[in-house]
Amino acid sequence: MKTIFNAILPLLLALCCAAAVADQGVLLLDTVARAPTNAPGGLPRPVRGQTMDQVRQRFGEPGERLSPVGDPPITRWVYGAYTVYFERDRVITTVVHRQK
């Protein structure tokens, strides 16, 4: 009887650990699902390659403009839901803000 218990115990522990990890995965998926999407099909926002003028025409004036930093100069424009990063006058990326 003791031999069977010793053989089954590691299996039971492994199943319990797997269930705990699966629960954490579900919680992570729930958190990701609630976050704003940073994919083209989500929130409309500037895309790579657009000029500053194109961004301003389509999305309006940013709430905040941060001065260029570095070489090449990287400029940030902060809008309500995202921040646009420019290298010189072209969009290099747009990052959606986390919801608080």
| pLDDT band of 22, cuts 50, 70, 90 | very low
Poorest-pLDDT segment among 25-29, 43-47, 74-78, 85-89:
25-29
As a whole number, mean pLDDT of residues 41-48 equals 87
Q: What pLDDT was estimated at residue 19?
A: 46
Confidence check: pLDDT of 20 > 50:
no
* Closest by CA position to 77, among listed 65, 60, 93: 65
Q: What pLDDT was estimated at residue 43?
A: 85
As a whole number, mean pLDDT of residues 59-71 equals 97
Q: What pLDDT was estimated at residue 82?
A: 95
Asked if residue 46 lies in contact with residue 59, where contact means CB atoms within 8 angstroms, the answer is yes
Confidence check: pLDDT of 93 > 80:
yes
Q: What pLDDT was estimated at residue 3?
A: 59
* Kind plus residue range of the DSSP H or E element containing 55: helix 52-59
